[in-house]
């Protein structure tokens, strides 16, 4: 009989370790291929963005939240600073077995706390129309859909969506 996983069994760290970024790129490529039929173009898109994050990383402005269960990465979220006091939410994923435990909400709370502590004025993210559960979570935190565009960037036709949230000053 499998052990029931509970939220308290999952640790979240904010310090990157060797192998973390490569693993996150790999898991994005595999998960989105298996679940949404995205091509390898998606994995290369993630790799380019992760490299951009690492290259421009500033501990005062950026953060990562790495979720682990039994010393294995099972979730990830990244906050990347942008120009004009803005931030971008990127590469939010949870392994399927760790969904519906409240982990997504916990990560969003940590993300929002960091945004407010750093006094960002706006935060945005890009997703696709296929990410219904993610979009619902973002909307619960006040994000609104501000842009849509047709795309085949990830190897199939879909709609890319931009959500943003203006933060009170």
Residue ranges of the domains in the chain? 7-121
Q: Distance between CA atoms of 35 and 46, rounded to whole angstroms?
A: 16
Q: Distance between CA atoms of 8 and 69, rounded to whole angstroms?
A: 10
pLDDT for res 1:
41
Divide the 169 residues of the chain into consecutive groups of 10 and give the mean pLDDT of each group. 78 96 97 96 96 96 97 97 97 93 96 96 96 94 97 94 90
pLDDT for res 6:
83
Three-class secondary structure of residue 17 per DSSP:
coil
CATH topology of domain 7-121: Aminopeptidase (3.40.630)
pLDDT for res 164:
98
Return the number of other C-beta atoms located less than 10 Å from residue 169's C-beta: 6
pLDDT for res 169:
60
pTM for the predicted model, two decimal places: 0.93
End-to-end CA distance of the chain: 51
**44 DSSP β-pair partners:** none
pLDDT for res 3:
73
Q: Distance between CA atoms of 95 and 74, rounded to whole angstroms?
A: 5
Q: Distance between CA atoms of 77 and 27, rounded to whole angstroms?
A: 13
């Amino acid at each position: 009989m499998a052990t029931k996983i509970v939220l308290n069994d999952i640790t979240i760290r904010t310090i990157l370790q060797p192998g973390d970024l490569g693993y996150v790129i790999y898991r994005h490529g595999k998960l989105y291929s298996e679940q949404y039929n995205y091509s390898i173009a998606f994995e290369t898109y993630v790799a380019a963005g992760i490299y951009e994050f690492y290259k421009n990383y500033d501990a005062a402005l950026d953060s990562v939240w790495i979720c682990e269960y039994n010393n294995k990465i099972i979730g990830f979220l990244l906050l990347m600073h942008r120009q004009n006091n803005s931030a971008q939410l990127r590469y939010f994923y949870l392994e399927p077995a760790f969904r519906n435990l409240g982990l997504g909400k916990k990560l969003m709370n940590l993300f929002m706390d960091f945004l407010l502590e750093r006094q960002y004025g706006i935060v945005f993210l890009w997703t696709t129309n296929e990410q219904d559960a993610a979009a619902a979570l973002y909307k619960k935190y006040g994000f609104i859909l501000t842009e849509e565009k047709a795309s085949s960037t990830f190897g199939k036709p879909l709609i890319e969506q931009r959500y943003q949230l203006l933060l009170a000053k």
